Amino acid sequence: MRREELVRLIAADVRALTAESDQIGREFASRNNLSSNDFRALLHIMVAEAAGAPLTAGELRKLMGTSAAAITYLVERMIESGHLRREAHPGDRRKVILRYDDHGLAVATDFFTPLAQINSQALADLPDADLDAAHRVFTAITGAMREFRTVNDG
């Protein structure tokens, strides 16, 4: 298969993955009385946390593309519902970061653990070299998407 065809197939795969992920996110939000913006916020917080760079409300506001008032309202609702908590920034005590609260972790774990198990089963027969290559591909695509978003932020 030619490189152009492989790149086209990967782009189609990413779109399909995004569509499936969106549907799963909608289901999680529906089951937990969350709006789609609530889920997006939780996802941004999870991704940042996993990268070792937890978000402040201001950083979340920029990622979400909302006003300061809207993000304050969203964060307050998510704190009241037990999904999030505020915590002092470990490197700058003047800042406050957002973290999952126990309830938020519990409902996310309950919902997403079966998906993790299905994913593990789907990957079980693939050799480590394929998984390593896939990780490199996802890292490259995520970086390209981040660059595109950064360049196109208006």
3-state secondary structure the chain: CCHHHHHHHHHHHHHHHHHHHHHHHHHHHHHCCCCHHHHHHHHHHHHHHHCCCCCEHHHHHHHHCCCHHHHHHHHHHHHHCCCEEEEECCCCCCCEEEEECHHHHHHHHHHHHHHHHHHHHHHCCCCHHHHHHHHHHHHHHHHHHHHHHHHHCC
Q: Can you give the pTM of this predicted structure? A: 0.85
Domain ranges within the chain, ordered by starting residue: 15-101
pLDDT digits (tens, 9 = 90+) for 24-44: 999 999 999 999 899 999 999
pLDDT above 70: percentage of residues in the chain: 99
For the domain made up of 15-101, give the CATH fold.
Answer: Arc Repressor Mutant, subunit A (1.10.10)
